[in-house]
Amino acid sequence: MDQRLKRAFLKHIDEQIRFFVLALEDMEYGLTTRDRQTPETEDRFWYGVQAALIAVGNVSKILWGQRAMYRTERAALREFLGIEEGSVLQPTTMRNHFEHFDERINWWYDTGEPFRSDRQIAGIPPYREDKTLQRWIEHETLVISFNEDKWDFIAISVELLRIEAIIDDYPLEGWYPLENE
């Protein structure tokens, strides 16, 4: 991979990791103020969840691309960062659930299923296999569920922090295109 391109991708991955950390701060605020829960603190928590999903989705797009040709081209970047197939960063399903929520509402409406729960912050969901259970976070484990799909914030955080340490050791100055490279 061209070094200018590599630096540009690493710079943007680093930026998305910083955005992810900011999103976690909003989530933490929402969780730590649960004893005085208000619509604002709940909104702040779910805002953080959504922002974190977007940041990780952007990292995934940088690492794998959205087209097959980019997946192959970016293998060198994934190798440099020590990212293996099946990484927790690769799936974008959860982000898609949040981004395309209108389609999920249409599905619910079209099926005639009862709408039971959305935006829950609690323990293990009582009806885990129930497709009418929308967004749910298991606050003890920080695993978010959307219907039957799951996303593990702790595993993703650990992987992003590992990558951040690699990027911190790489010179990102001059990530913009240089004439003499």
Residues of the chain with pLDDT > 90: what percent? Answer: 38
pLDDT digits (tens, 9 = 90+) for 39-74: 778 888 889 999 999 999 999 999 999 888 888 899
Residue 181 predicted with pLDDT over 50: no
Residue 95 predicted with pLDDT over 50: yes
* 20 token code pair: 């992810």
Residues of the chain with pLDDT > 70: what percent? Answer: 82
- In the chain, the largest separation of any two C-alpha atoms, in whole Å, equals 63
Residue-level pLDDT at 176: 57
Each residue of 104-136: b (16+ CB within 10 Å) or e?
beeebeeeeeeeeebebbeeebeeeeeeebbbb
Residue-level pLDDT at 141: 83
pLDDT digits (tens, 9 = 90+) for 17-38: 999 999 999 888 887 876 666 7
Q: Where are the domains of the chain?
A: 3-124+133-168
